[in-house]
């Protein structure tokens, strides 16, 4: 967010909301998604980027709680694979010589590394890098732990902050310089086949993570020129964000083969008594997952949180009338306690402000369900239920309400996912006509699949045709490779060199 916008915002809100008429100060999501995105993060108390360092922000209370739920989902999945992933925590600082050991990593990251050069006033003998990713921090230690095939597989992960001196424009949650929510898994195996099996497990874990956030994705094998430094191949989870229709790389899974184990000497004794280098994978995701929740489910009134990550699932707003306040507050309090006891994440809004302002406040923050209780509802022994994702109010008899609310949360979860997926599916287009493909991308309509030969020079020639156009890679390649089910298309020709080819590739604009 620009400092100018950020500083202006609170004043604007305060001024407008101090009048009885409540005004929405969010920019229009359809025509001005970038500003809408910055503003909603700020206004909904998710993250404040007015910190005096580009690309670094402060997680505020509400955002921190969403982030905590996001991490819970991740931890739960990683901790519960048949052979669990062990959570660990490695140092943030990596000595220069250790970082420089892996040539590909150096090439891939040298322009993005922050260096610590002094300890107090004393120049350091060996510069220290702030980890941009942790292969070079982890692998010398793992080399000390693994001795025999009985130590394998070893599956590990850490959740920590990484530093990348991003040259391109930074963007809240999407391209930050301090990545605060970086989950990196690193696994070690006896054979190439075990490694492939791990890639399959990683893909399933990521599917589960994004499915439970209601975030749609495409799985794409990156071109070899866009593979993670040192990896044999990279599989990406891309989500085409609504409104801009640009792809956001939400996570990557890398098959590292033996590149790093050879550099860092991670050897083991095989079952037949020989020595071999371990086979490795690593896979990472970041706060971009939270950016996707915001982008996919938001609207002009604010966030719509899927119940899986909502810090508050239900807010109760008392409808107060003169001389009935005490009765209403008592019923609301009792109902609050009842919901809490049933295990709902519930909040009773007792603040002294108009009900309209309360509605506005919780709508902006995307609370999935609002329950209203007023004197009429008490008389009729009912509650009024309003869901955030679709319009309308329902009156539910009190004694049926627990079951109703619990089903409703499930329904909201499903329907947010379904509508995001439906819109996402409409943004993918396949054509054999390159002109049509370029026009589609140029008009920001989404991602296109075109027949392609896989050569970097051909890709460059096509990329030159349109500013921002990028080759994302081969659709669902991981499945094809792993299951040896490569689907060979017939009678198609590379969109540039016209050689006969058997596969389509994805192209589009990306974040």
Closest distance to ligand 5CA from the beta carbon of 190 (Å): 21
Q: What is the closest distance, in whole angstroms, from the C-beta atom of residue 267 to ligand 5CA in the complex?
A: 22
Question: CA-CA distance, 281 to 115, in Å (whole number)?
Answer: 27
Residue (177 or 388) nearer to ligand 5CA, CB: 177
Beta strands in 410-468 (DSSP E): 428-430, 447-451
CB-nearest residue to ligand 5CA = 284
Beta-carbon contacts of 33 under 8 Å, excluding residues fewer than 6 positions away, are 241, 242, 243, 244, 295
Residues 6+ apart with CB under 8 A from 482: 196, 199, 200
Please tell me whether residue 175 binds ligand 5CA under the rule CB under 6 A: yes
Among 252, 255, 261, 308, binds ligand 5CA (CB under 6 A): 252
> Please, which residue, 336 or 471, has the CB nearer to ligand 5CA?
471
The DSSP bridge partners found for residue 268 are 276
Angle between helices 33-43 and 288-297 (to 10 degrees): 110
Dist. CA 143–CA 149, nearest whole Å: 13
How many other C-beta atoms lie within 10 A of the C-beta of residue 443? 9
Residues touching ligand 5CA, count (CB under 6 A): 20
3-state SS, residue 99: helix
In the complex, least distance from residue 291 CB atom to ligand 5CA, rounded to whole angstroms: 8
228 binds ligand 5CA (CB under 6 A): yes
The label of the residue with tokens 């503003």 reads 39
What stretches of 304-351 adopt beta strand conformation (E)?
Answer: 314-318, 346-348
Cβ neighbors of 172 (< 8 A, separation 6 or more) are 1, 37, 38, 41, 47, 49, 57, 291
Min dist. Cβ of residue 90 to ligand 5CA (A): 12
Q: Counting contacts by CB under 6 A, is residue 382 touching ligand 5CA? A: no
Nearest of 482, 484, 502 to residue 492 by alpha carbon? 502
Q: Does 246 bind ligand 5CA (CB under 6 A)?
A: no
The smaller minimum CB distance to ligand 5CA, of residues 231 and 332, is found at: 231
x/- mask, ligand 5CA, residues 105-134, rule CB under 6 A, reads: ----------------------------x-
- With CB under 6 A as the contact rule, the residue among 29, 128, 235, 282 that binds ligand 5CA is 282
Q: What does DSSP say about strands 369-373 and 218-221: parallel, antiparallel, or unpaired?
A: unpaired
- Considering only 95, 172, 251, 473, the residue that binds ligand 5CA (CB under 6 A) is 251
**249 forms part of the interface with ligand 5CA (CB under 6 A):** yes
241 phi and psi angles, rounded to 5 deg: -70, 140
Question: Using the rule CB under 6 A, is 178 a contact of ligand 5CA?
Answer: no
- Closest distance of CB 195 from ligand 5CA, Å: 15
Q: Pick the stretch among 15-23, 282-290, 303-311, 334-342 that binds ligand 5CA (CB under 6 A).
A: 282-290
Pick the binder of ligand 5CA from 179, 247, 309, 383 (CB under 6 A): 179
Residue 231 or 383 with smaller CB distance to ligand 5CA: 231
Interaction between residue 263 and ligand 5CA (CB under 6 A): no
In the beta sheet, which residues pair with residue 471? Answer: 507
Is residue 288 a contact residue for ligand 5CA (CB under 6 A)? yes
Contact of 362 with 302, CB cutoff 8 Å: no
For residues 128 and 131, what is the distance between their CA atoms, to the nearest angstrom? Answer: 9
All residues at 6 or more sequence positions from 108 whose CB lies less than 8 Å from its CB, including other chains: 228, 229, 230
Determine, following the binding rule CB under 6 A, whether residue 102 of this chain makes contact with ligand 5CA. no
Q: Which of 187, 255, 261, 286 binds ligand 5CA (CB under 6 A)?
A: 286
| Residue of 205, 285, 293, 408 that binds ligand 5CA (CB under 6 A) | 285
Binding site for ligand 5CA (CB under 6 A): 133, 164, 166, 175-176, 179, 184, 228, 249-252, 254, 282-288
């Amino acid at each position: 967010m620009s400092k100018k916008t950020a500083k202006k915002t609170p004043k604007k809100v305060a001024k407008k909301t101090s009048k009885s008429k409540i005004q929405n100060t969010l920019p229009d999501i359809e025509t001005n998604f970038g500003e809408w995105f910055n503003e909603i993060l700020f206004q909904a108390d998710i993250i404040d980027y007015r910190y005096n360092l580009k690309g670094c922000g402060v997680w505020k209370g509400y955002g921190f709680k969403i982030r905590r739920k996001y991490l819970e989902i991740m931890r739960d999945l990683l901790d519960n694979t048949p052979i669990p992933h062990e959570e660990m925590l490695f140092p943030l600082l990596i000595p220069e010589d250790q970082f420089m050991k892996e040539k590909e990593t150096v090439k891939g990251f040298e322009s993005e590394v922050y260096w610590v050069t002094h300890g107090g006033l004393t120049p350091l003998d060996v510069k220290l890098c702030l980890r941009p990713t942790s292969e070079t921090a982890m692998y010398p230690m793992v080399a000390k732990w693994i001795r025999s095939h009985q130590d394998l597989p070893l599956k590990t992960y850490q959740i920590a902050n990484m530093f990348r001196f991003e040259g391109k424009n930074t963007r809240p949650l999407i391209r930050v310089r301090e990545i605060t929510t970086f989950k990196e898994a690193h696994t070690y195996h006896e054979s190439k086949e075990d490694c492939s099996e791990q890639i399959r497990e990683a893909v399933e874990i990521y599917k589960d993570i994004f499915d439970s956030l209601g975030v749609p994705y495409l799985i794409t094998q990156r071109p070899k020129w866009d593979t993670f430094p040192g990896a044999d191949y990279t599989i990406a989870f891309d989500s085409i964000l609504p409104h801009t229709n640009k792809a956001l790389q939400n996570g990557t899974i890398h098959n590292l083969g033996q590149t790093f184990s050879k550099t860092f000497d991670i050897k083991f004794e095989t079952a037949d008594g020989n020595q071999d280098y371990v086979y490795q994978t690593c896979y990472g995701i970041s706060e971009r997952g939270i950016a996707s929740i915001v982008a996919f489910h938001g609207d002009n009134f604010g966030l719509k949180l899927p119940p899986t990550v909502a810090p508050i699932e239900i807010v109760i707003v008392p409808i107060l009338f003169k001389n009935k306040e005490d009765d209403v507050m008592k019923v609301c309090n009792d109902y609050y306690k009842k919901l809490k006891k049933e295990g709902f994440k519930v909040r009773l809004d007792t603040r002294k402000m108009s009900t309209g302002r309360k509605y506005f406040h919780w709508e902006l923050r995307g609370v999935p369900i609002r329950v209203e209780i007023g004197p009429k509802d008490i008389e009729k022994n009912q509650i009024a239920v309003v869901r955030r994702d679709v319009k309308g109010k329902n009156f539910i008899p009190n004694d049926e309400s627990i079951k109703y609310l619990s089903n409703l949360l499930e329904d909201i979860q499903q329907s947010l996912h379904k509508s995001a997926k439906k819109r996402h599916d409409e943004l993918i287009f396949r054509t054999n006509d390159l002109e049509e493909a370029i026009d589609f991308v140029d008009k920001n309509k989404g991602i296109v699949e075109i027949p392609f030969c896989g050569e970097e020079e051909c890709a460059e020639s096509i990329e030159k045709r349109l500013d921002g156009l990028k080759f994302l890679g081969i659709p669902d390649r991981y499945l094809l490779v792993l299951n040896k089910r490569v689907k060979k298309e017939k009678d198609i020709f590379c969109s540039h060199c016209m050689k006969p080819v058997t596969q389509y590739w994805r192209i589009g604009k990306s974040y």
